[in-house]
Amino acid sequence: MYYNVSMYQKRARGIAAVLLFLLTVFSLSADSFWDDVTWAASGSILILAADNGSQGADPAPILPSVGFSAAWQFWGPLSLEVTEDIYLTNYEYNAAYGYPMACNPENRSAFVMGFLTGIQVTGVFPIGKNGIDVRVYGGPAMDFRIIALAFGLNHPSDFTGKIETDAQLQTDAISKYFWEKGRWILPVVGAGMDFPLNEKILLGFDLRVWFPLYRLWTDENIPAIDGWRFCAGFRVTPRKSPE
């Protein structure tokens, strides 16, 4: 199996270094840092919006994703939150239009594992006296993708030497497309509510939108909806024991 991850590795190392630096600074600057950190696990339905009808491709995929988050409460109702959502899907490359399109398995060329990483400011506001909280948040987010030749493509007919039908050439083109011109930058905004399930667990519900900021300077000839992400999901947050 061939993995085209060199550009992914460079950017992933960069963001990991920044996060490690921030974590070190926070840890050294406050003795109570970890006391102010809240963890959560999540599951979501992710929609990769697209209008592929005129190009003869599959409709926009609706994918399950799993994730986790860590939020550091730095002032009053505000927290700095890091989120990670992981999804899997297949892509083909439309040579006529010059861009990738998510597709059904039978049309696949590339397998993509996406790591949607968000660094956002979150505000948490209690409502009523029942322990219900409303959350609103937003900030920069990045889609760090691992892009590989799709599983099971090993027949000579899958490697014709022509971009229209060669799975490896299409995989290379898909990787190049996603990593150039800032197409991995996707700012996110969202809102949610948390309900006390019991004394130890909060059950939350979220709606999120990722904006394809790169559409401001690229991809003028593809449908306007392409690149947007929409998500509905739930999250489980362990409650802290009262001091």
Q: What is the CATH number of the domain that holds 141?
A: 2.40.160.20
* Structural domain range at position 11: 3-238
Is residue 241's pLDDT more than 80?
no
Please name which of 67, 84, 75, 80 lies closest in space to residue 38, comparing C-alpha atoms.
Answer: 80
Q: Judge whether 243 lies within some domain.
A: no
If one counts the domains in the chain, the total is 1
Q: What is the mean pLDDT of residues 64-92?
A: 93
Q: At what angle do helices 167-179 and 6-29 cross, to 10 degrees?
A: 40
Is residue 121's pLDDT more than 90?
yes
pLDDT at residue 205, as a whole number: 96
Q: Judge whether 122 lies within some domain.
A: yes
Q: Judge whether 141 lies within some domain.
A: yes
Q: What is the mean pLDDT of residues 113-124?
A: 95
pTM of whole model > 0.85?
Answer: no
pLDDT at residue 4, as a whole number: 47
Q: Judge whether 94 lies within some domain.
A: yes
Percent share of the chain, pLDDT over 70: 82
Q: Judge whether 18 lies within some domain.
A: yes
Specify the amino acid at residue 79.
S
Is residue 42's pLDDT more than 90?
yes
- Residue 36: both structure tokens together: 């102010």
